[in-house]
Amino acid sequence: MTELLFLMGMSGSAAILLCFLLCRLTEKRLSARQQYAAMKFVLVFLLLPIGPCLNFLLELLQETTQISSSEMTPVLPATSGGWLPGAVPDAVPTDAVSLPQLTISPSGDQICTALWGLCAAAILFYKFLRFARSKRCLRQAGLIEASPDTQLIFRTCQQKLHIHRSVRIRLSSAVPAPFATGLLKPVVILPIRDFSERDLRCILLHELTHIKSGDLLIRWFSMFATAVHWWNPLVWLWNRKLVELSEASCDE
């Protein structure tokens, strides 16, 4: 288990560094949406064993190549002295020399796995606790129906983005800024504040783009990936960059 997590972390780290380098070199050529798409692709390496599978295929290819080369090696006839002329009897075969490998005992692997699971569970519990606390604050403050004018602008923005699923809009005094929430039943929550029609339209288009692009689901997956790879600082930097590019992509 420890080796699998380590290989997944290393393949994910390589993908993160490659994305950071790509965004750095093409910062003025790629849009925020394109950079965001590249950052989302890192989730495949962090949550799926792509690295271990590639490592297994590479080892299998090496073994197949070695077998093929050994079958093609000609068998030389034996000489009277048992050795070919010029052969050195004391020479050590190349295959006998091997590099030392780092191995983990079963007990050590169990300890590392238990420590990883404990920290990952603690991070997920903290995240869900914050989510439940914010939901409770919203429930206590109450959600207010938007005015008919706001509802009309909201439906217009929804039609402009071709969002056909049911999305609600609510007002609350407990939120400092607009945000979208809800995977199965999405809702856009606005603070109780006077917005101009232009600002309200931009805000609603921004939040609806989050819903249309599936950013809410991506946030959950990235939170889970951060908990799984809590020991890797590159994953935390990637998660922060992912959120920044998500907002910049919606602004575009």
Mean pLDDT for the stretch of residues 27-39: 88
* Tens digit of each residue's pLDDT (9 = 90 or more) over 154-212: 999 999 999 999 999 999 998 999 999 998 899 999 999 989 999 999 999 999 999 99
**Whole-number pLDDT of residue 9:** 86
Percent of the chain scoring above 70 in pLDDT? 82
**Whole-number pLDDT of residue 99:** 41
Tell me how far CA of residue 104 lies from CA of 19, 54, 222, in angstroms.
32, 22, 29
In the structure encoding, which two tokens stand for residue 1, read together?
A: 């288990």
Question: pTM value?
Answer: 0.77
Percent of the chain scoring above 90 in pLDDT? 56
Tell me how far CA of residue 220 lies from CA of 66, 69, 157, 214, 243, in angstroms.
45, 49, 25, 10, 12
Distance CA 51, CA 49 (A): 6
CB-based contact 251:35 (threshold 8 Å): no
* Tens digit of each residue's pLDDT (9 = 90 or more) over 126-160: 999 999 999 899 888 889 999 999 999 999 999 99
